[in-house]
Amino acid sequence: MEKFKTRYNKLNSAQKEAVDTIDGPLLVVAGPGTGKTELLSMRAANILRVTDTLPENILCLTFTDSGANAMRARLASIIGTDAYKVAIQTFHSFGTEIINHHSEYFYRGADFSPADEVATYSILTDIFEELDYNNPLASKMNGDFTHLRDTAQVISELKQAGLSSSELLQIIDSNEKLLDAVEPELAAIFANRISKTTIALLPPIANKIAELPAPQLPPAIAPLADALALSLARAFDEAVASGKTTPITAWRNAWLE
């Protein structure tokens, strides 16, 4: 365990405390790039070092395959081949493994398996092939559907947000009504070259957007009007503070192009 001692000595006091705490729950609050992977690897190594715990009795979960691979490589550099006996998985793969091993406890669990990227695009391609030629999603470039990747991304984000297709349509309808209400005034303001006189035109439209009736949306979904009004007000404040129109131009580019 010489490698463990060398790595342990490089930790700060808070990290050492986390590594030394091997019994009971432990919450570590840390931002990106602060050594979380090293800390977790060292903690797993320490548990194996000072207890009779078997490597296969330790479970490490992370969000991405790259994160899991990095953690395994880090642990292997400390304890060697025993690292490959430790269950280091993504939440997704761990959940899949549970379903596969205990499908009798899940409704039709044995009938489903997660689709990888290739299967996802194959399924979407089959669906897109059935679209009418005048459907916007049916457009192609170099033989490939133009909106295939965007569609897969939207589906992924919907699943992460826990939204159904009907709730998505509800949000889209609300957003379209908002844009119909404010687009004429925004188009008039930004039809000409942006100048310092443009700055004074923004507060009235921002106030109008903020005062629009709140739409009926799924729980935890903020109205687009809130984001639009807030971003417009922020652009106005930055323009006034700097005496430049750069924030207004940036807002226009982000929202209107």
Q: State pLDDT tens for residues 179-204.
A: 999 999 999 999 889 999 999 999 99
**Residue-wise pLDDT tens digits, 140-159:** 888 889 999 999 998 888 88
pLDDT above 70 (res 243): yes
pLDDT above 70 (res 110): no
Given a contact cutoff of 8 angstroms between Cβ atoms, the answer to whether 114 and 94 are in contact is no
* 3-state helix, strand and coil shares in percent for the chain, rounded to the nearest 5: 65, 5, 30
Q: For residue 154, which amino acid is it?
A: V
**Residue-wise pLDDT tens digits, 35-49:** 889 999 999 999 999
Given a contact cutoff of 8 angstroms between Cβ atoms, the answer to whether 44 and 75 are in contact is yes
Q: What average pLDDT is seen over the chain?
A: 90
Listed by start position, the domains of the chain span 2-101, 117-161, 165-256
Q: What is the spatial distance between Cα 238 and Cα 231, in angstroms, rounded to a whole number?
A: 11
**Residue-wise pLDDT tens digits, 23-37:** 889 999 988 888 889
Q: What is the 3-state secondary structure (H, E, C) of 49-91?
A: HHCCCCHHHCEEEECCHHHHHHHHHHHHHHHHHHHHHCEEEEH
Q: What is the spatial distance between Cα 199 and Cα 209, in angstroms, rounded to a whole number?
A: 16
C-alpha distance across the termini of the chain, in Å = 59
Q: What is the spatial distance between Cα 31 and Cα 28, in angstroms, rounded to a whole number?
A: 10
Q: What is the spatial distance between Cα 237 and Cα 247, in angstroms, rounded to a whole number?
A: 9
In Å, what is the CA distance from 125 to each residue of 70, 120, 150, 168, 221?
33, 9, 13, 21, 30
Query: CATH top-level class for 2-101?
Result: alpha beta
Q: Among residues 177, 241, 245, which one has the least CA distance to residue 209? A: 177
pLDDT above 80 (res 1): no
pLDDT of the residue at 20: 95
pLDDT of the residue at 109: 58
Strand, helix or coil at 141?
strand
Radius of gyration of the chain (CA): 26
Q: In this structure, how many other beta carbons lie within 10 angstroms of the beta carbon of residue 247?
A: 18
Bridge partner list, 89: 61
Q: For residue 163, which amino acid is it?
A: L
